[in-house]
Amino acid sequence: MHLDIRTLFLVAVMTMTLLGLVSLTFASLRPGNPAIRLWGASLLVLAGGLVLIVLRGVIPDVLSVVVGNMVTVAAIVLGYRSLRMLRAQPLRDYLGWVLVLAITASAAFYLYVEPNITLRVVFFSAVAAFLLFRNAWLLGHDAPSDARASHRITAGIFGFFGAVHALRSAAVWVIGRPEDLMAPHLPDAVLMLVTMAAIICATLGLLWLEVRRLQHDLAHLASIDQLTGALTRRAFSSEFAREVSRRERDKGSFGLAMFDIDHFKRINDEHGHLVGDELLRAIADSLRQGLRAHDVLCRYGGEEFVVLMPGADKAAATAVADRARRSIEHRGWITDKSGIVITVSAGVSAYPEDGRDWDALIGAADAALYTAKRRGRNCVVAAAADPSSALSA
C-alpha cells in the first residue's frame, strides 16, 4: 500500500497555509517585530511553490518545475531572513538569492536541455539541505544565554530537516527515482510527512523564541523607569543584593547616595507637571554624566534618586555625589516661561561601615539626606558624619 503523493502534497499545502496564517496573526499582535510576519509570509510562499509542483501535468512544465522549484527555495531563503531578523542581524543574503537563481537555471536545464529528473532532484535537495543547515547554524551558534535551550532545540529541528534533504540527495544520486514526480514512491511519501512535521515544529520553535523575546522585553520594561530611563526600585534592589554578595566575598566596600530635588513640589505648582517631568528627565541625564561608568542609577520614587557606587568607600562616594550635585547646580534650566535654578541635596552611606543590608544602608543615606535638607539644602552629607562635614555650594 502506497501513500498518494499528490494527496500528501495537498495536505502539506494546507498545513503550511494554516501555519502561515497563524504566524501572521501572531505577528499582528506585536507589530514591533517583523520576524514572525516574514516567517508567516515564507510559509505562504512555500505553500504556493508546492501548489505549482503538485499541478505537474495540469499546468505547463515551466510553471510546475522551473517556477515551482524557484518559489520553494525562495521560501527557504525568506525563512532565513526572518531568523536573521529574530537574531537582530543584518538582512544581507546574496548567497541565498544566488542559490535561488541557480535552482531556477538547473531546473530549466535538466527539464529542457538535458532532461534528467534524477539530477534535478539531487541538486534541489542538496541546495535545500545547505540552506536548512545554514538556518540551524544561525540559531544554534552563539545563542543568547537566557534563551539557549529554545534556540538550540529550534536549530536542531532545522538541522534534522537539512539532514533528511542531504540523505535524499545522496539516495537519489545512487538509486535514481521515477520519472513521474507524482508516482507512488515511498521515499517521497516519507519526505512529505517529515516536511510537514518539521515545518510544524520549526514554526512552534520560532513562536517559542518570540515568546521568550517578549518575556525579556517585558522584564526590561519592568526594570526601567519609563520617564527617566533609570532603574526602577525593584530592579535596583536586585542590583543592590548582587553588590552585597560580591563585597561579602572580596571584603570590599561600596557607596550609596540618595538624591532629592530641592523644592520640587514648588516647581511643579508654579510651572506645571510637564515641566516637572522634563526636569526629572534632565536631572537623571545630569546624574549619569556626573557619575562613573559602572555606577547604577535608580529612580527611588517621586523626585528621589539613588545611586549605587561599586568599590567606593564613603569618602569616594561623597566626592562623586558632590560632583554630581555641582553639575546640576551649575546647569541652566530653561522652560518656555523662564529660567529655573535647580539644586539637589544628597545623603551618602557606605557598606559595610553603615550597615550590611538594604534597610540599614538606605536608612543611613536617608537620615543623612534629611540632615542635608535641615542644613539648608544644596549639599551632600555623609551618614553619621559631623554636620560640619557637609559639602555645600
Q: In this structure, are 21 and 102 located in the same domain? A: yes
Q: In this structure, are 68 and 122 located in the same domain? A: yes
For the chain, the domain total comes to 2
For residue 329, with 0-12 CB atoms within 10 Å meaning exposed, 13-18 middle and 19 or more buried, which class applies?
Answer: middle
Q: In this structure, are 203 and 243 located in the same domain? A: no
Q: What is the CATH number of the domain that holds 320?
A: 3.30.70.270
- pLDDT at position 217: 75
Q: In this structure, are 148 and 198 located in the same domain? A: yes
Q: In this structure, are 293 and 317 located in the same domain? A: yes
Q: In this structure, are 9 and 114 located in the same domain? A: yes
Question: CA 116, CA 112: separation in Å to the nearest integer?
Answer: 9
Asked about 303 being catalytic, the answer comes back as yes
Q: Which domain holds residue 331?
A: 233-392
227 falls within a domain: no
The residues facing 344 across adjacent strands are 261
- pLDDT at position 360: 92
Q: In this structure, are 55 and 147 located in the same domain? A: yes
3-state secondary structure the chain: CCCCHHHHHHHHHHHHHHHHHHHHHHHHCCCCCCHHHHHHHHHHHHHHHHHHHHCECCECHHHHHHHHHHHHHHHHHHHHHHHHHHCCCCCCCHHHHHHHHHHHHHHHHHHHHCCCHHHHHHHHHHHHHHHHHHHHHHHHCCCCHHHHHHHHHHHHHHHHHHHHHHHHHHHHHHHCCCCCCCCCCHHHHHHHHHHHHHHHHHHHHHHHHHHHHHHHHHHHHHHECCCCCCECHHHHHHHHHHHHHHHHHHCCCEEEEEEEECCHHHHHHHHCHHHHHHHHHHHHHHHHHHCCCCCEEEEEECCEEEEEEECCCHHHHHHHHHHHHHHHHCCCEECCCCEECCCEEEEEEEECCCCCCHHHHHHHHHHHHHHHHHCCCCEEEECCCCHHHCEEC
Q: In this structure, are 206 and 180 located in the same domain? A: yes
Q: Which of 154, 189, 222 is the last residue of a domain?
A: 222
Q: In this structure, are 128 and 242 located in the same domain? A: no
Catalytic residue among 210, 243, 270, 303: 303
228 falls within a domain: no
39 falls within a domain: yes
pLDDT in tens, the chain (393 residues): 466 888 888 999 999 999 999 999 988 887 666 899 999 999 999 999 999 998 988 899 999 999 999 999 999 999 999 999 988 888 788 999 999 999 999 999 999 999 998 999 999 999 999 999 999 999 998 887 777 888 899 999 999 999 999 999 999 899 887 777 767 777 788 888 899 999 999 999 998 888 888 877 777 777 888 888 899 888 899 899 999 998 888 888 999 999 999 988 888 887 788 888 888 988 898 888 878 888 999 999 889 999 999 999 999 999 999 999 988 888 766 555 556 778 899 999 999 999 989 999 999 999 999 999 999 999 999 997 444 444 544
Question: CA 8, CA 191: separation in Å to the nearest integer?
Answer: 10
Of 268, 279, 258, nearest to 349 by C-alpha is 258
Phi, psi of 332 (to 5 degrees): -90, 130
Q: Which of 179, 202, 222 is the last residue of a domain?
A: 222
Q: In this structure, are 288 and 318 located in the same domain? A: yes
- pLDDT at position 100: 95
Question: CA 51, CA 68: separation in Å to the nearest integer?
Answer: 8
Could you tell me which residues come within 8 angstroms of residue 37 by beta carbon, excluding any fewer than 6 positions away?
Answer: 23, 24, 27, 28
Q: Which of 192, 222, 252 is the last residue of a domain?
A: 222
Question: CA 324, CA 329: separation in Å to the nearest integer?
Answer: 9
For 50, how many CA atoms within 13 A lie in the half-sphere containing its CB?
24
Q: In this structure, are 270 and 141 located in the same domain? A: no
Q: What is the CATH number of the domain that holds 144?
A: 1.20.1070
Give the pTM.
0.70
Q: In this structure, are 117 and 213 located in the same domain? A: yes
